[in-house]
Every structure is written in C-alpha cells, then in structure tokens.
Structure 1
Amino acid sequence: MARPKIPLLSRDRIRTAALALIDRDGLPELSMRRLAAELNVQAASLYGHYPTKDDLLDDVARGIMARVDTSAFAAGDWRHGLVSWARSYRAALATHPNFVPYLAAGPGTREENLRAADAVHGGLITAGWPPREATLIGAATRYLVMGATLGSFSRGFVDDAHLYRDRYPHLDQAHLLRAKADEIDADSFELALTAFVDGLSLRYPPETATAERLS
C-alpha cells in the first residue's frame, strides 16, 4: 500500500501554519522547531523558505496588511477615506489579535505598510490637511485600531452576576458582557471612530472648509 502523501512544503503552507499556531497559542509560542512539528517536517526544511523566524513573521505581516484598503481616499473625501481605512484595518487585524503586538512593534519597512501610509498621508494632504496634522491623524488612527484589536474589553468579564453585583453596584450587568462581546467590541470601535472623525472635523483647515461650502 502506498504511503499517504505529505503536502509539498511551500511558503504559503508554512505561513498559514505559523499564523494558525499564533492564533491558537500566542505569538511567544512560535518557534521554527515547533512550527516544523506542526507541519510534520524537520526544522531545517523551513530555513530553505525562510532563513529566520523574523523573515517568516514579516511575510505573515505582509499577508495581513495586504487586506487593508486605502482606496477610498482616492475619492477626495478625507472623512470617508479615514473611516473606510480604519474599518478595513481593524477587520484585517481583528481576526488575528495574537499577532497584533508584532504589527505594532515591527519595522516600518514593509511594502504594504509603506503603501498604506503613503495613501493615507497623501489623501489627507490632498484634502487640505497640513503635513504635520496628516502625520498625527494617521498615527492616531493607527493607535485607535491597534487598541481596538489587542484584546476584548467585554471578554474580560465572567458570567457570574454575584461577583460584580454584590461589590460593584454600577456593574450589576457586567456578567452579561461576555455573551455580547462581538457586538460590544464592534459598536465601541464605531463609537470611538465616529467621535474621532467628528472631533477632527472641528480642526479641519478653515480655508479648505470654506472652499467646500462654496463649491
């Protein structure tokens, strides 16, 4: 009887397995030896595709960041561009929260990161924001997205009414939060994003705002 075939090792297969391991066990648990065991190969086999673990992590990061969409800035409406980018950014990161720390601390040399930053910065400047303000807005949006994907506020609570109700009277419904975590996480992000963009509108360059009103 022929032996069952083991799928050929490829960068795509390695990357997929690495991300699955990180999603399941956390970023600190990833090692080339452990990943090789997951793939039923020797660790040396991985190095022909990725010379170092950082090379692998950078490739995983590129795959995630490639899902971030900045195309809405092309329409010229900075509010729509910013909101669309932030939602796309959160959606890309929220499915892999264990990987977010690497994206937050990783080097800013990846093509996908630089392409997105260029589109955002250029879109804001084209809309009338001064370069420094555009830089701050881009950074602040990134902080908002990263914070929204690093962890879940609602999942930090447990389903035990007495734990909260007896000692914290204003948290008498806290035991219900975990069951509605996805809804609360999404709605709280939208609330923060809306408040952020509304606040930026008050700082919008007066000369540009006047031109918009006259057009």
Structure 2
Amino acid sequence: MARPSTPLLSRNLIRDGALALIDAEGLESFSMRRLATSLGVTAPSLYSHYATREQVLDDVVNLVIADVDTSAFDAGWRQGLLTWARSYRAALSAHPGVAPLVASGAQHREHFLTMADAVHGGLVAAGWPPRRATEIAGAVKFLVIGAACTPFAAGFSDDATIYRDHYPHLNQAHRLRAEAARIDHDAFEVGITSLVRGLEPGPPRH
C-alpha cells in the first residue's frame, strides 16, 4: 500500500510538534500556521483535532508538567516540597519557552491541576492548615517560575571593562556568564532550601 503523501495527524503528533516548535523558536513565534508548516500539513487540518490554539498550548503545558515529581510527600512535607520544586524547575529548564504558559496558571490543564492537588494534599496531610498550604505552594511556584523566566547569571556581559571603572562591587561579574548554569542552579538551591528551612520547626497544629 502506498504511503500517504502527508503525515497522519493525531493530537499527540500536533502537541509534540508544538512543543518542538516552541523549544526551537520560542513562544512568541508560535502560530497554528507555523505549526502546520512544520508538520507538513495545512493549518485547517489542525482544527479537526484542536478547536483553538489555546487548546494546543494547554496540552503542551500538560506534557511538560507530566515530568514534575509530586510523589515524595510520603517521605515528609519538607522532602515533598524539595523534590517537587527541583523537578518543577528541571521540567521548565528543559523547555524554557513554555515557562510563560505555566506561569499563567492551572486553568483547565489536567496535569497541572493533578500536580496542584497532590502538593496541596501532601501539605494538608502533614498538618498544615489549607490556607497556609496554599500560600506555601504559591511561594514555591513563584520561586520556580522566577528561576525559569529570569535566569540570573547569563544576563551579565563577559566584557570586564563594563564593570571595572564604574561598578567596583561587580568586578568579577564578567565571569558569571561562563558559569551561568552552575550559578543559576546554586542560586535556586539557596532559595528553595531557605524557603523550606524557614518553614521549620513544622506546621502549626491549632
């Protein structure tokens, strides 16, 4: 049997193609027309699987969030938060173009809601009041999204002359870019471990 001249579309193929396109070109360049071209089909053919561009992006978020680990709350709320935060950052670091979509919230994204439910449930089961559990989860999300959307070290120039004459306290800033991945990782670790430590000695029981 002859192979079809165009690829057989499915929701998974479209979703995976959208993620690959965002990874390669950034979210700002994403469009259904551009996605169709990358898949070798016409734009109208995509709409037989997804009614809107937003539905495609929701599935992209679900795909990325599926890699986030919320299973460690059985080992205690501190370990649960650390494992969640680290895997959350790792998922977004692998797909930084998706971070602004994740920052927009859960909406109707099934995997995002499942993640939020697991985190909230893990904290409440450990004794945190529901309101405080919500605040803790929000604080972790702020830290993760900030790390994903605003990398620190790479934002400095490697030209030492920029800093030498006018910014004496930044006389080593030109070295940051070369070690950006390590510095950003270590900065995130400072943030998340300080946050979790600051919640000690444990949840209030009243």
- Please report the TM-score for the alignment, with normalisation by the length of structure 2: 0.92
Structure 1 residue 167 corresponds to structure 2 residue 171: no
CA distance in 2, matches of 1:6, 1:179: 44
Comparing 118-127 and 180-189, the one that deviates more: 118-127
Stretch of structure 1 that moved more, 2-11 or 57-66: 2-11
Q: Which residue of 2 aligns with 1:58?
A: 58
Structure 2 counterparts to residues 199-214 of structure 1, below 5 A: 199-202=198-201, 204-205=202-203, 207=205
Q: For the Cα contact (< 8 Å) 1:125–1:134, is it kept in 2?
A: yes
In structure 2, C-alpha distance between the alignment counterparts of 1:40 and 1:87, rounded to whole Å: 37
**Which letter maps to 2:54?**
D
Q: Secondary structure at the match of 1:17?
A: helix
CA distance in 2, matches of 1:47, 1:4: 20
Structure 1 letter corresponding to 2:56: L
**2:188 is matched by which residue type in structure 1?**
F
Change beyond 3 A, Cα 1:50–1:4:
closer
Q: How far off is 1:205 after superposition?
A: 3.3
Distance 1:179-1:5 versus aligned 2 partners, 3 A rule: farther
Q: Is the 8 A contact 2:127 2:204 kept in 1?
A: no
Q: Structure 2: 5+ residue runs without aligned partners?
A: none
Does residue 118 in structure 1 map to residue 117 in structure 2?
yes
Q: How does 1:58-137 map to 2 (within 5 A)?
A: 58-75=58-75, 77-137=76-136
Counterpart Cα distance in 2 of 1:83 and 1:143: 14
Q: Gaps spanning 5+ residues in structure 1: where?
A: 209-215
- The 5 A counterparts of 1:128-167 are 128-167=127-166
Q: Does residue 1:177 correspond to 2:176, yes or no?
A: yes
Shift of 1:140: 0.7
Match of 2:195 in 1: 196
- Is the contact between residue 7 and residue 41 of structure 2 (CA under 8 Å) also seen in structure 1? no
Deviations 1:54-74 (A, max 9, x none): 110011011011111111112
Larger radius of gyration: 1
Tell me if the contact between 1:68 and 1:89 (Cα under 8 Å) persists in the aligned partners.
yes
Size of the aligned set, in residue pairs, is: 205
42 and 165 in structure 1: CA distance in 2 versus 1, 3 angstrom threshold: same
The 3 A distance-change label for structure 1 pair 58 and 3 is closer
Alpha-carbon distance between aligned partners in 2 of 1:14 and 1:135, rounded to the nearest angstrom = 34
- CA RMSD in angstroms comes to 2.0
8 Å Cα contact 1:97-1:151 kept in structure 2: no
The match for 1:46 is 46
The equivalent of 1:23 in structure 2 is 23
Q: What is the alpha-carbon distance in structure 2 between the residues aligned to residue 128 and residue 108 of structure 1? A: 27
Tell me the CA shift for residue 45 of structure 1. 1.3
Question: CA offsets, 1:162-183, max 9 Å, x none?
Answer: 1111211111111111111110
Measured after TM superposition, the shift of residue 102 of structure 1 is 1.1
